Amino acid sequence: MAVSRAERCAARVLRLVSRAFVALLGLVSRAPALATPAPFSPAGCPGSAPRKARCVPPPSDELLFLSGVELARRIRSKAVTCVNVIETFIGRIKEVNPLINAVVKDRFEAALQEAHQVDKLLSEGHDSEESLREKFPYLGVPVTIKEAFALQGMPNTAGLVNRRHIISTTDATVVSRLKQAGAIPLGVTNCSELCMWYESSNLLYGRSNNPYDLQCIVGGSSGGEGCILGAAGSVIGVGSDIGGSIRMPAFFNGVFGHKPTTGIVPNEGQFPSAVGIRTDFLCTGPMCRYAEDLEPALRIMAGPGVEKLKLNEKVSLEKVKFYFMEHDGGSPFVSPVDKEILEAQQKVIENLEAKLGVEVHHLAISKMKYSFQIWATLMSVNSSSDGQKIPNFTDLLGDHGKPVWPSWELLKWLVGRSSHTFPAIALGMSERLVNWNPKAKTKAEGMARSLQEEMADLLKDDGVFLYPPHPVVAPRHHEPLGMPFNFAYTAIFNILGFPVTQCPLGLSKEGLPLGIQVVAGRHNDHLTLAMARYLEQEFGGWVCPGKG
């Protein structure tokens, strides 16, 4: 099915309008009289970089270069104290956070108390190392949590100003499970307002900056999480993904991120919560600096549901069937794929064929070019199949309180009086436009079902699909407003429900991370995780920022 002339014209108009808003945003941000309100900045977490630098300084302590699995092993064996580990990571966060604004609220004092308790437990010697590994696989390992998740004693605002006084009294399910596994949370990290934009910036905490280039975005909505991992301030993080919110930040910040098969890892305990059909799209998953942490972190976060993911099955990559697409087939709504991203993908293909002796088959799935239309239409429906009402975005902006009128908020924003970011206002306005055609939902559902069946039949239980994570490397701040639909490269897999692992592939000529999405059929997460380990081995994985 060809893209219609009307769709191409609409895409051109949207791009022109978006670019005009980018230019307007630049003028507004430079005009003191029209500047947006200064972001709230918690103690120890400034909202902007105090000094000029292109990237964060490289870490110097050896502990900052270890995986969570290795840190836990050294703590259990008493090769290093838990207090030393936690102090080292706290020191790193204090070093880089003034530049990147990733951790928006810390719990350093509580983390150190918990580290002392770990060291006390080890000194008493009641359990063997093997017993401790079984009970607490991540004993003493520092982690960070996306602020949208409940972490007891920490804010849970999702960047919404009118929730600035909300403090969590409980833990989200996945946070509780990580704590039970021995992990020690260091704090919560920044996200986009209401987790629905791919630049992590809001009027409560300010903007996060990329550790490889402070003038570039960190992605969203789990951008603060990807950012602090890429900067070596944390080793494992908790993210959520409804359109690429784990995978885009993982790509832009050079780390690993896994969107599990839908419905396995519980989403409870985050704001906004998923209800109705959106439960089929939202996934909670791990973000890690090292591939070997993905599987154990996923096991912990999934709990009993992990049995469906075949993680105990041994994977022989030589027997896997590989497929790839270098772009979506030519959607007029998204940018062309950067040459360096294509070159990185080609290197992966050549490596697989040369070292594993497999053939990587090129695909041309025509429906992929409709990824944005499918996702946007299905996300905009206001009721589930059982008739349950789904809150729209403007309901969430008001936190189910006073109604928010996007057009009025836009006028307020132009004079620096709105408590919402421009992307959130724009999304609220566009939400009403998507539903103008009553046939759109039926058509989108049909295309999604057909695409899902086509890919499921192709991948089965032994296939892997390689696909770009985004058309461009990390853009500069505000530039996403001029390319607002590029997230379609990740969003389509939320609709399909397939597991996807984002894997780093070194740096571009400009020093920004490259990467690739590895996709498998439902409940075949073990295949994408095995590929993550292989690609880390072959291409180096995370690259330390600030060197050279």
Question: pLDDT at position 441, please?
Answer: 82
CB 204 within 8 A of CB 188: no
CB atoms within 10 A of CB 62: 9
The residue ranges of every structural domain in the chain are 8-36+62-300+317-539
Question: pLDDT at position 427, please?
Answer: 83
Distance between CA 390 and CA 381 in Å, rounded? 8
Three-state SS for 212-234 is CECCECCCCCCHHHHHHHHCCCC
Question: pLDDT at position 375, please?
Answer: 94
CB 404 within 8 A of CB 439: no
Burial of residue 72 (CB within 10 Å: 0-12, 13-18, 19+) is buried
3-class DSSP state for residue 324?
A: strand
Of 89, 95, 84, 7, the C-alpha closest to 57 is: 95
* 528 membership: H or E segment, kind and range: helix 525-539
Of 196, 292, 209, the C-alpha closest to 512 is: 209
Question: pLDDT at position 491, please?
Answer: 98
Distance between CA 13 and CA 531 in Å, rounded? 40
Distances (CA, A) of 278 to 62, 124, 207, 406, 419: 42, 48, 27, 22, 26
Residue 427 has phi, psi (to 5 degrees) of -65, -40
3-class DSSP state for residue 189?
A: strand
Burial of residue 304 (CB within 10 Å: 0-12, 13-18, 19+) is exposed
* 111 membership: H or E segment, kind and range: helix 108-124
Q: What residue ranges in 246-356 does DSSP mark as E strands?
A: 256-259, 283-288, 321-324
Question: pLDDT at position 385, please?
Answer: 53
Residues with catalytic roles: 146, 221, 245
Question: pLDDT at position 15, please?
Answer: 55
Beta bridge partners, 504, equal 515
Q: What residue ranges in 302-412 does DSSP mark as E strands?
A: 321-324, 360-362
Amino acid identity for residue 101 in this structure: N
The third-level CATH classification (topology) of the domain covering 8-36+62-300+317-539 is Amidase signature (AS) enzymes (3.90.1300)
Question: pLDDT at position 394, please?
Answer: 78
Q: At what angle do helices 108-124 and 68-76 cross, to 10 degrees?
A: 50
Preceding omega of 221 cis (within 30 degrees of 0): yes
Q: What residue ranges in 360-432 does DSSP mark as E strands?
A: 360-362
Question: pLDDT at position 12, please?
Answer: 57
Return per-residue pLDDT of the chain as tens, 548 residues: 445 555 555 555 455 545 544 444 444 443 333 233 334 333 333 343 443 469 999 999 999 999 999 999 999 999 999 999 999 999 999 999 999 999 999 999 999 999 999 999 999 999 999 999 999 999 999 999 999 999 999 999 999 999 999 999 999 999 999 999 999 999 999 999 999 999 999 999 999 999 999 999 999 999 999 999 999 999 999 999 999 999 999 999 999 999 999 999 999 999 998 765 577 899 999 999 999 999 999 999 999 999 999 999 999 999 999 999 999 999 999 999 999 999 999 999 999 999 999 999 999 999 999 999 999 988 887 655 555 667 777 778 887 667 788 888 899 889 998 989 999 898 888 776 665 566 788 899 999 999 999 999 999 999 999 999 999 999 999 999 999 999 999 999 999 999 999 999 999 999 999 999 999 999 999 999 999 999 999 999 999 998 75
Of 64, 151, 146, the C-alpha closest to 114 is: 151
Question: pLDDT at position 1, please?
Answer: 44
Question: pLDDT at position 433, please?
Answer: 65
pTM above 0.85, yes or no: yes
